[in-house]
C-alpha cells in the first residue's frame, strides 16, 4: 500500500493525497447520508495528466477507484463501499473553463467545473447552458455527464447527453482519449462520447467536455398554478404546448404535502394562492430578447385552462423577485424533505398518458403497506419524471425503514407494469444496481457487462455501481 501512496503523492503532491479520517470524512458519505464508506485515500489531481498517473498507479496495483465530482449524487455512486480498499479520485480541483465559442455554440470545460460556473461562463458571452438542477451550486459537469443528469430544462433542451459534443476521458488503463473536437457532425464510427455519458464512473474518468450553448433567453413568463389533479396537470401541459410551442421551457408538478414541507421549513416561503389545492404546477415560458408577448401567451393559456376546469387559480410572477419566489417553492422541496425525518426516494419515469392513473392507484397501495406513509410527490412532469419520495408517518422513521423493501418493490412493480423507468435521471449508483438488473432484459444486462469487461477487464472502476457488479 505504501508503494501506491508514494506513487499517488508523486503524481499529485502530498497535499492532495488525503488519508486522515477527518480529511477523508466528507468524501465517503453521500448527500443523503444513506451511503457511508471507507477509502484507502482521497486523491485530488489538478490536471488530466495527473488523473492519468493516478489511474495508472491504481491499475498497476489493482486498486479500485471511485471518481467523485460534487458528491451530490442521490444513489450512492460517488462514494466507496465499506471495504476501505478503494481510492476516491476527486475532480474538485479541475475547474478550468478551457474555451468558449459563441458562434459555434460550444463551451469546453474541465470536468470539475461546478454547474453554476458552467452556466455563468455561457452567460458571460450572452449564451445559455440550459441544464438546471437544485444542486447546481455544488454538482460538477463531470458528475452531470457521468449520471446523464436531467433537471428542470429537459422539456425544452433534453438530458445532459443532448448537451455534449465531445469528451476527454482517462480510461481504466490510464490512457487518455481526447474526443474534444466539438463538431456537431462527426459520423466516424461508434459514438464514444455517448458511451461514457451515464456510465457513472464505471468506464473511465471524464476529465473534460465540449458542451453545447444556446441563444440566451432573458425573457420569462412564470406562474404557480393550482390544479385539481394529476390528470388536470397533464391536460394543462397539453394546453401549454398548444399555446407556447417552443417557448414552453419548464413544467413541474408538486403535491400539497410537498408545498406544506416548503412552507413549514423554507425560510421566507409563502403560499402565493389563497385557496389550498391538492396539486400545483410551476410553468415557465422563456424566450430571447426579441420574443415579446410571452406574458400574454401565459395569460391566455391559463384562461383556457380555468375555462376547461383544468386549473383553479394561478399566481403569475410580476418581476424577477416574484419569479425566484415561485421557483423556490419547487426547488426548496429536496432540501426541506430531509428536515422531517427519514425519506425513501423514488425517481421514476412514466408514460405521460399514464401519470394520473398511476399516481391515483399508487396511494392506496402504499397505505396498505404502511398506513400513514406520506408520498411527497414532485418533479419534472413535463417529461414524465416524478420524484415519488415517501416520508415516514410523523415520528415513525423506523416503520418507514422497516417497510422500505416492500414499499419500493410495490413502486418498482407498478412502474414496470406501466413500462416506465425506475431511474429517470439520478442513475443507478449503489441504491438501484440490483433492482435495475431485475428490470432490464438479459440481453441488455449482457451487453452492459460486455462493455464493462471490454473497457475495464479488471473491474476496478467504481466496482459496486450500476449493474456491472458481477
Ligand atoms: P457525484 O455525486 O460526485 O458523482 C455521481 C456519479 O458520477 C458517481 O457514480 C461518480 O462516480 C460519477 N462521477 C462523478 N464525476 C465523474 C467524472 N469526472 N468521471 C466519471 N465519473 C464521475 N439530479 C438530476 O438529474 N436532476 C435534478 O433535478 C437533480 N436535483 C438535485 C437536487 C439536489 C438538492 C441534490 C442534492 C441532487 C440533485 N440531483 C439531481 C442529483 C445530483 O446532483 C446529480 O446526479 C449530479 O449530476 C451529480 O453530480 P456530482 O458532480 O455531484 O457527482
Ligand atoms: C429534483 C432532487 C432529488 C430528490 O429536485 O428535481 O431531482 O429526490 C430532484 O429530492
Ligand atoms: Zn429531479
| For residue 437, pLDDT beyond 90 | no
Cell of 238: 397539453
pLDDT computed for residue 340 by the predictor:
85
Cell of 117: 460556473
Backbone angles phi, psi at 348, to 5 degrees: -115, 155
Q: Name residue, grid cell 425560510.
A: 267
pLDDT computed for residue 219 by the predictor:
96
Q: What is the mean pLDDT of residues 116-129?
A: 98
Ligand 2 touching residue 336 (CB < 6 A): no
pLDDT computed for residue 1 by the predictor:
67
* pLDDT confidence bin for 259, thresholds 50/70/90: very high
pTM (2 d.p.) = 0.97
Minimum-distance ligand to the CA of 136?
1
Q: How far is CA 431 from the centre of its chain?
A: 14
Domain 219-334 sits in CATH at 3.30.70.2190
- Tens-digit pLDDT profile for residues 204-249: 999 999 999 999 999 999 999 999 999 999 999 999 999 999 999 9
Ligand 2 centre to CA of 12 (Å) is 34
Ligand 3 centre to CA of 425 (Å) is 7
Ligand 1 touching residue 349 (CB < 6 A): no
**What residues does each domain of the chain span?**
2-90, 97-215, 219-334, 341-417
Question: Tell me: domain 97-215, CATH 1.10.8.50, correct?
Answer: no
Minimum-distance ligand to the CA of 72?
1
Ligand 1 centre to CA of 102 (Å) is 27
| For residue 27, pLDDT beyond 70 | yes
* pLDDT confidence bin for 141, thresholds 50/70/90: very high
Q: What is the mean pLDDT of residues 362-366?
A: 97
Question: Tell me: domain 341-417, CATH 3.30.70.2740, correct?
Answer: yes
Cα atoms found within 13 Å of the Cα of residue 373, Cβ hemisphere only = 29
Paired strand residues for 349? 385, 421
Which residue blocks in 61-203 are alpha helix, DSSP H? 115-123, 141-147, 154-157, 192-196
pLDDT computed for residue 273 by the predictor:
97
Q: How far is CA 130 from the centre of its chain?
A: 14
Most ligand 1 atoms within 8 A of CB, residue of 28, 88, 112, 135 to mutate: 135
- Tens-digit pLDDT profile for residues 55-83: 999 999 999 999 999 999 999 999 999 99
Ligand 1 touching residue 92 (CB < 6 A): no
Ligand 1 centre to CA of 425 (Å) is 10
CA distances from 330 to 52, 179, 202, 441 (A): 40, 37, 32, 35
| For residue 469, pLDDT beyond 60 | no
Looking at the CA of residue 389, tell me the nearest atom of ligand 2.
8
**Which amino acid residue places its CA nearest to atom 3 of ligand 2?**
334
| For residue 468, pLDDT beyond 70 | no
Measured from the Cβ of residue 311, the count of other Cβ atoms closer than 10 Å reads 26
Give the chain's mean pLDDT.
Answer: 96
Ligand 1 touching residue 140 (CB < 6 A): yes
Do 97-215 and 341-417 show the same overall fold? no
Question: Tell me: domain 2-90, CATH 3.40.50.2300, correct?
Answer: no
| For residue 470, pLDDT beyond 60 | no
- Tens-digit pLDDT profile for residues 296-345: 999 999 999 999 999 999 999 998 999 999 999 999 999 999 888 889 99
pLDDT computed for residue 420 by the predictor:
97
Amino acid at each position: 500500500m505504501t508503494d501506491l501512496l508514494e506513487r499517488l503523492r508523486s503524481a499529485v503532491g502530498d497535499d492532495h493525497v488525503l488519508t486522515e479520517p477527518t480529511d477523508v470524512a466528507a468524501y465517503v458519505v453521500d448527500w443523503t447520508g444513506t451511503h457511508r464508506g471507507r477509502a484507502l485515500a482521497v486523491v485530488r489531481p489538478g490536471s488530466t495528466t495527473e488523473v492519468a498517473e493516478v489511474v495508472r498507479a491504481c491499475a498497476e496495483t489493482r486498486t479500485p477507484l471511485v471518481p467523485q465530482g460534487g458528491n451530490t449524487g442521490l444513489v450512492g455512486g460517488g462514494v466507496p463501499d465499506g471495504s476501505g480498499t478503494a481510492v476516491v479520485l476527486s475532480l474538485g480541483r479541475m475547474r478550468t473553463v478551457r474555451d468558449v465559442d459563441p458562434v459555434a455554440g460550444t463551451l469546453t470545460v474541465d470536468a470539475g467545473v461546478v454547474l453554476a460556473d458552467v452556466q455563468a461562463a455561457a452567460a458571460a458571452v450572452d449564451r445559455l447552458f440550459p441544464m438546471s438542477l437544485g444542486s447546481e451550486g455544488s454538482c460538477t459537469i463531470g458528475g452531470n455527464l457521468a449520471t446523464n443528469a436531467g433537471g428542470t430544462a429537459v422539456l425544452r433542451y433534453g438530458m445532459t447527453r443532448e448537451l455534449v459534443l465531445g469528451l476527454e476521458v482517462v480510461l481504466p488503463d490510464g490512457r487518455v482519449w481526447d474526443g474534444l473536437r466539438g463538431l456537431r457532425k462527426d459520423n466516424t464510427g461508434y459514438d464514444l462520447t455517448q458511451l461514457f455519458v451515464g456510465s457513472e464512473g464505471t468506464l473511465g474518468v471524464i476529465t473534460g467536455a465540449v458542451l453545447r450553448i444556446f441563444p440566451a433567453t432573458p425573457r420569462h413568463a412564470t406562474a404557480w398554478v393550482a390544479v385539481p389533479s394529476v390528470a388536470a396537470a397533464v391536460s394543462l401541459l397539453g394546453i401549454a404546448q398548444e399555446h407556447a410551442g417552443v417557448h414552453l421551457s419548464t413544467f413541474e408538478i408538486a403535491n400539497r404535502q410537498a408545498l406544506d414541507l416548503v412552507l413549514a421549513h423554507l425560510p421566507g416561503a409563502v403560499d402565493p394562492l389563497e385557496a389550498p389545492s391538492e396539486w400545483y404546477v410551476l410553468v415557465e415560458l422563456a424566450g430571447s430578447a426579441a420574443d415579446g408577448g410571452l406574458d400574454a401567451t401565459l395569460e391566455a393559456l391559463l384562461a383556457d385552462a380555468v375555462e376547461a376546469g383544468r386549473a383553479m387559480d394561478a399566481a403569475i410572477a410580476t418581476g424577477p423577485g416574484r419569479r425566484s419566489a415561485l421557483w423556490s417553492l419547487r426547488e426548496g422541496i429536496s432540501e426541506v424533505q430531509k428536515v422531517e425525518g427519514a425519506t425513501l426516494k423514488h425517481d421514476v419515469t412514466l408514460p405521460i398518458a399514464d401519470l394520473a392513473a398511476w399516481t391515483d392507484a399508487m396511494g392506496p397501495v402504499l397505505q396498505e403497506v404502511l398506513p400513514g406513509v406520506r408520498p411527497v410527490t414532485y418533479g419534472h412532469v413535463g417529461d414524465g419524471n416524478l420524484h415519488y419520495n415517501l416520508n415516514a408517518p410523523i415520528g415513525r422513521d423506523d416503520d418507514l425503514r422497516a417497510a422500505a423493501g416492500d414499499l419500493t418493490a410495490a413502486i418498482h412493480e407498478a412502474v414496470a407494469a406501466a413500462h416506465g423507468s425506475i431511474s429517470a435521471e439520478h442513475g443507478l449508483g449503489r441504491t438501484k444496481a440490483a433492482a435495475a438488473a431485475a428490470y432490464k432484459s438479459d440481453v441488455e444486462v449482457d451487453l452492459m457487462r460486455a462493455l464493462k469487461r471490454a473497457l475495464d477487464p479488471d473491474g476496478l472502476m467504481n466496482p459496486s455501481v450500476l449493474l456491472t457488479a458481477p
